[in-house]
Structure 1
Amino acid sequence: MQEKFPKRKPNRLEHYDYSSCGAYFLTICTKERRNYFWENVGATIGRPQDVQLSEYGKIADKAINRIPIVYPSVLIEQYAIMPDHLHLLLRVRADEYGRPMVAPTMSRLVQQLKGYVTKQIGEPIWQKLFFDHVIRNWQDFEEHLKYTYENPMKRKYP
């Protein structure tokens, strides 16, 4: 019998340890891509509207900044809170002697972040999955750093 649905392509690298030292780019989306994180402010005659973080956006910001406290081996290089998703550029570090530190998998880290936000808000707002990219070299890192920096400016006036 032929399958009704095409097989999904795995979204993780096979045989890769997602807790190993290195850099990762994560994208975490809200359910139905709803705008939970931005709100429009300040529109008046002669002055265009601006955006700022909503209350949910501030909770997401706090959750992101808690990551290095919960997981000392994880350094947040840069992040962007978009209206309906988050971008995180993270690095899992070694200790001062170059030995790998105990680190969470990216799945565990995202699960913890989503759980914290959901608990603070009081309702689930996330898509089930998330997207990850293992940073392969310095050029790849710089491209994702630039993307994370520029993406909010491109979406500033929805």
Structure 2
Amino acid sequence: MTHATRQYYTPKKQTLLKRKSLRLPGYDYSKGNWYYITICVDKMQVFFGEIHNEKMIQNDCGEILSNNWSYLSQHFTTVLLDEFIIMPNHLHGIVIINEEDNITLGQIVRFLKARTTKLIHDAGLRDFKWQRNYFEHVIRNESDLYNIRNYIKQNPLRWHLEKNEHVSNW
């Protein structure tokens, strides 16, 4: 798969850099479809809670994100939400965009990021910031959907196992 390349200037260095787009070239993200998204905190900092006994325990920031995720289907009335999980430093979720809708996946993610950032900043955590972009995958069939739902459900367990594997290697 080839990715479109964007050029941008960094404010500090004033040098021209190339950044690869994470989107499918030529794909219409306002098309009615099911999308699996991952949105990460900048520098993968832990802001939303912790994994304890293979379960995600959300803190106040995690609750803010959870409430905003649920609010998406109220704000975008033709958008449906499926399986999701909030992890200590990222979110995985499935978004369903209605065929007749004129909303893009990018608009939905921007709204979620902006609203969550504002509320977390209002709560006093001014250093909270999202990663610049997000990851998406167009869900192609029932098998793909099944595997993604399982991946989302098992994410806290995988986090726990990876952390314990790292500790046991010392």
Q: Same fold (TM over 0.5)?
A: yes
Which structure shows the bigger proportion of residues in helix conformation?
Answer: 2
Return closer, same or farther for 1:80/1:49 CA change in 2, 3 Å cut-off. closer
**1:58-92 Cα distance to aligned partner (Å, 9 max, x none):** 00000100010011121111101011100011111
Which structure shows the bigger proportion of residues in strand conformation?
Answer: 2
Q: Residue 68 of structure 1 aligns with which residue?
A: 73
Which residue, out of 126, 130, 134, partners 1:126?
130
Contact 1:21 1:91 (C-alpha < 8 Å) held by counterparts: yes
Contact 1:74 1:91 (C-alpha < 8 Å) held by counterparts: yes
Q: Residue 45 of structure 2 aligns with which residue?
A: 34
Q: Distance in 2 between matches of 1:156 and 1:75?
A: 30
Secondary structure (helix, strand or coil) at the match of 1:68 reads helix
Secondary structure (helix, strand or coil) at the match of 2:91 reads strand
Contact 2:37 2:94 (C-alpha < 8 Å) held by counterparts: yes
Q: Which runs of 5+ in 1 are unaligned?
A: 42-47, 94-99
Under a length normalisation based on structure 1, what TM-score does the superposition of the two structures give?
A: 0.80
Residue identity over aligned pairs, in percent, reads 31
**1:91-130 Cα distance to aligned partner (Å, 9 max, x none):** 113xxxxxx3324211111110011111101134201111
Under a length normalisation based on structure 2, what TM-score does the superposition of the two structures give?
A: 0.75
Q: Residue 90 of structure 1 aligns with which residue?
A: 95
Q: Distance in 1 between matches of 2:154 and 2:46?
A: 19
Q: CA RMSD in A?
A: 2.3
Q: Which runs of 5+ in 2 are unaligned?
A: 1-14, 164-170
Name which of structure 1's ranges 84-93 and 24-33 shifts more when overlaid on structure 2.
Answer: 84-93
Q: Residue 115 of structure 2 aligns with which residue?
A: 116
Report the number of matched residues.
Answer: 143
Secondary structure (helix, strand or coil) at the match of 2:38 reads strand
Q: Distance in 1 between matches of 2:146 and 2:156?
A: 17
**TM superposition shift of 1:154:** 2.4
**1:20-73 Cα distance to aligned partner (Å, 9 max, x none):** 1110000000011011011477xxxxxx79751011000000010001001112
Q: Distance in 1 between matches of 2:104 and 2:54?
A: 40
Contact 1:80 1:149 (C-alpha < 8 Å) held by counterparts: yes
Secondary structure (helix, strand or coil) at the match of 2:35 reads strand
Q: Residue 145 of structure 1 aligns with which residue?
A: 149
Q: Residue 23 of structure 2 aligns with which residue?
A: 12
Work out which structure has the larger RCO, using CA pairs closer than 8 Å and 6 or more positions apart in sequence: 1
